[in-house]
Amino acid sequence: MKNMKPFTRGLVLMLLGHLVGYGVGLGLDTLVSGRMNFTASIAGFFSLVVGVALFFHGLVGYRTITRGIVWQILGTLGGALFVTGIRALMGLKTFGPPFLFTEPAWVFGGLAGVICFLLGHGVVDDWIRMARGLDVPEHRADAPGWEKFYSPSLDHKVIGVQYTITALVLLVVGGTFALIFRTELAASGLQFLTTDFKLFSQNGLQFYNTLMSLHGMIMIVSILLGIAGLMNYLVPLLIGAHDMAFPRLNAFSFWIAPPAAVLLLSSLVLGGFDTGWTGYPPLSAKAPLGMQMFFLGVFVAGWSSILGALNLIATVLRMRAKGMTAFRLPIFVWAAIATSIISLTATQLIGLSFQMVMFQRLFGMGFFDPAKGGSPVLFQHLFWFYSHPAVYVFILPGLGVVSELLPVFVRKPLFGYKWIAMSSLAIALVGFLVWAHHMFTSGMNEYLRVPFMYSTLLVAIPTGVKFFSWVATIWKGKISTPMPSAFLFVVGAIVVFLMGGLSGPPNATVSTDLHLHDTYWIVGHFHDTLFGGFVFPFFAALYYWFPKATGRRLNETLGRWHFWLMTPAFFTLSLGMMRIGLLGMRRRIADYDPLQGFDPTHLVLTIAAFAIALSVLIFIINLVVSLKRGEPAEGNIWNSRSPEWQVASPMPAHNYDTPFEVVGEPYDYGLPGSKYVEFAKK
């Protein structure tokens, strides 16, 4: 055991943990129900959490993240027992199948578990010391090697990598869920997720719905962490800051996400839920226990967004290099600001709407219960007030990456810099006024539909400005062949996002939306916007900045395989979805009417989904292999004007040894003798 590599040791211990946890859970379940149920929720829950805890124990031993997860498990059980004790005193139901504890006990336990994770992990240690009047060092040296990534590091670059790796892990988890239900959809009729299928207190249909719903939210959290990773790593480097404005808050913003992810995943084993990621009541008011764990997980993850955005805005406002005026900011920073304005001010609304349903379930409050005078449509207003702007949170950083990388690769200035910068702000601000276009068929006030149609269509204008400016940037640009993988993904992002953009307006005009709403057309449309606005730019950014973070390049051959497999597969997937959606394929259904003739298309969609998964697998192999054996990246490998490429890779611990001053425009490629930044002499 001692001689194994940490990762192998982690995997072995994880398997062991799954088995031990399963045994413990099965024993407890048998104790309370009196019957042996091999697919019991409790067995699944203990198997999940003990496995995860032992995995990290194998990696780093019993400290930091491992201690956090162990404390989270103990905190959850302790909290649940506390509530159960109170219930026993009040003469209410205490223990029972299928979830061992009652719903209020689980919800309180889940919340207590998150707090215990933070205490056990150590990310709030400094604040506790400060509160007790003890000294806290300004800088804390990071642990050597990999261990710093599991610790509460204060370095924005470490935190950026933590975010990015967590995002990739969740991307794989969410993608795996999609592959499972995509396989079920390959042919009409229920194949394996049937009513006879039993797992974690769910039959096959319920399990399908749980996977489909969790695919949505896990991918959303993955995207939020992915953009946070990019912004955390890049923004201080791009503006010449030595770190974020509030490093401890920064670490906290990241470390509240892992316990939230555990909560979200636990909803899979605790009965699941059948509402989709939107969680509309009254359906969500009567879904199984998994619904509550889902609501709580999203509520906690929201803190990460809000606090991260606050930190980023403060950093850009206060910590820019000398001479970096508003219109000399790197364009990615404009996108990050626009995104952060939304995250900071709108995330509260999804938290609120989910909290209200939680309280409706826990305390019988009638917010959305028509029998008590509540309104189901009110929930949709609150929910979409965040969840529409949220899609701009997902895409604006990606579009910023496209604008940032294009000039470097085509060796031309960014066409219409100010217009692109302002278009990001315009999208963010107009985005606040369009939420009800998700509700054109909902039965909300009829006359409101027309103003929301006008405001929604306005979003097309700043989006169009971006496209036209990108094309003008590329026009007459000198692109070297063979094209680097990073640039391939930039071009892919533009075309895929264009498909998403062009399939948008028909959903905005009310009458056509009456047909399109809640169909696979919409599913195809938003997969286009999220692949074009996040997935492709995210990969472009990883190919481009991986050498900055590690000092080694990613393999270009594998990169091209990744691109040329993923792109056609994705086009097949999204166009196929739109095609059958127009013909009458509804969203979120576990099975479809064979008479509609969609069987061949669904088979193709399933194959395309697996091809995308294979391409991502190639990328992950590339990541792992290049980390050790990649070609060393020395100096300014992309011949960029940006400050981070003027210094050594990997980036020094406190960024720039000597401060720089901005002396020119950021993207003046082709202007002889011009410079963006000048470093002070030592």
Partner 1 sequence: MRHFVIAGILVILAAILTYLGLDAIGLLPIPASAQAMSIDWLWNWEVITISFLFALIVVPLVYSLVVFRRKKGDTTDAEHIEGNTKLEIAWTIVPLFIVMAFAYMGAYSLAETRRADPQAMVVNVTATQWAWSFEYPDYGFSSKELRLPKDKQVLLRMESKDVIHSFWVPEFRVKQDIVPGRVTELRITPTVLTAPNVPFKVRCAELCGTSHYSMEEVVIVSEEADFVAWATEQQTLAAAAQTPEARGQQLVVANGCLGCHSIDGSALVGPTWLGVFGREEELSDGAIVVTDEAYITESILDPQAKIVAGYETQLMPVYTFTEEQLVDIIAYLKTLK
Contact positions with partner 1 (CB under 8 A) in 503-522 = 503, 505-506, 508-512, 514-515, 517-519
Cβ proximity to partner 1, 139 vs 286, nearer residue: 286
49-78 positions binding partner 1, by CB under 8 A = none
563-582 positions binding partner 1, by CB under 8 A = 579, 582
From CA 379, how far away is CA 382, in angstroms rounded?
A: 5
Among 153-161, 191-199, 228-236, 256-264, the segment contacting partner 1 (CB under 8 A): 191-199
345-374 positions binding partner 1, by CB under 8 A = 370-371
Site string for partner 1, 87-106 (x = CB under 8 A): -----------x--------
Cβ proximity to partner 1, 149 vs 592, nearer residue: 592
146-185 positions binding partner 1, by CB under 8 A = none
Among 2-10, 58-66, 230-238, 408-416, the segment contacting partner 1 (CB under 8 A): 408-416
Closest CA to 612 of 574, 582, 577, 580: 574
From CA 643, how far away is CA 26, in angstroms rounded?
A: 57
Dihedral (CA of 224, 227, 230, 233) sign: negative
Instruction: Report in angstroms how near the CB of residue 42 gets to partner 1 at its nearest.
Output: 15
Among 494, 549, 565, 612, binds partner 1 (CB under 8 A): 494
Instruction: Report in angstroms how near the CB of residue 145 gets to partner 1 at its nearest.
Output: 40
Among 6, 413, 568, 664, binds partner 1 (CB under 8 A): 413
Site string for partner 1, 12-51 (x = CB under 8 A): -----------------------x----------------
What the block records as the tokens of 97 is 């199948």
List helix spans (H) across 517-584.
520-530, 536-550, 556-583
223-282 positions binding partner 1, by CB under 8 A = 271, 274-276, 278, 280, 282
**Per rule CB under 8 A, is residue 640 in the interface with partner 1?**
no
Cβ proximity to partner 1, 35 vs 681, nearer residue: 35
Residues contacting residue 381 through CB under 8 Å, at least 6 positions apart: 435, 436, 439, 444
Closest CA to 480 of 563, 554, 410: 410
Cβ proximity to partner 1, 597 vs 650, nearer residue: 597
Q: Please state at what angle helix 417-430 crosses helix 376-410, rounded to 10 degrees.
A: 170
Site string for partner 1, 439-458 (x = CB under 8 A): --xxx-----xx--xx--xx
Instruction: Report in angstroms how near the CB of residue 660 gets to partner 1 at its nearest.
Output: 22
What the block records as the tokens of 72 is 């989270």
Instruction: Report in angstroms how near the CB of residue 424 gets to partner 1 at its nearest.
Output: 14
Cβ proximity to partner 1, 72 vs 360, nearer residue: 360
Cβ proximity to partner 1, 41 vs 253, nearer residue: 41
Under a CB-based contact definition with an 8 Å cutoff, are residues 49 and 90 in contact? no
Closest CA to 633 of 654, 651, 660: 651
**Per rule CB under 8 A, is residue 593 in the interface with partner 1?**
yes
Cβ proximity to partner 1, 141 vs 502, nearer residue: 502
Overall residue count recorded for the chain in this entry: 682
Closest CA to 437 of 550, 513, 341, 383: 513
Cβ proximity to partner 1, 218 vs 260, nearer residue: 218
**Per rule CB under 8 A, is residue 495 in the interface with partner 1?**
yes
Task: Give the number of other Cβ atoms within 10 Å of residue 242's Cβ.
Answer: 15
Tally DSSP H helices, then E strands, for the chain.
Answer: 22, 4
Q: How far apart are the first and last CA of the chain?
A: 50
Closest CA to 99 of 165, 33, 147: 33
Binding residues with partner 1: total (CB under 8 A): 100
From CA 540, how far away is CA 597, in angstroms rounded?
A: 38
**Per rule CB under 8 A, is residue 594 in the interface with partner 1?**
no
**Per rule CB under 8 A, is residue 376 in the interface with partner 1?**
yes
Amino acid identity at 47: S
Site string for partner 1, 196-225 (x = CB under 8 A): x-x--xxx-xx-xx----------------
User: Phi/psi zone of residue 199: left (φ > 0), alpha (ψ -120 to 50 degrees), beta?
Assistant: beta
Cβ proximity to partner 1, 278 vs 304, nearer residue: 278
Closest CA to 57 of 23, 98, 17, 85: 17
457-486 positions binding partner 1, by CB under 8 A = 457-458, 460-461, 464-465, 467-469, 471-472, 474-481, 483
Residues contacting residue 595 through CB under 8 Å, at least 6 positions apart: none
Closest CA to 492 of 337, 381, 581, 612: 612
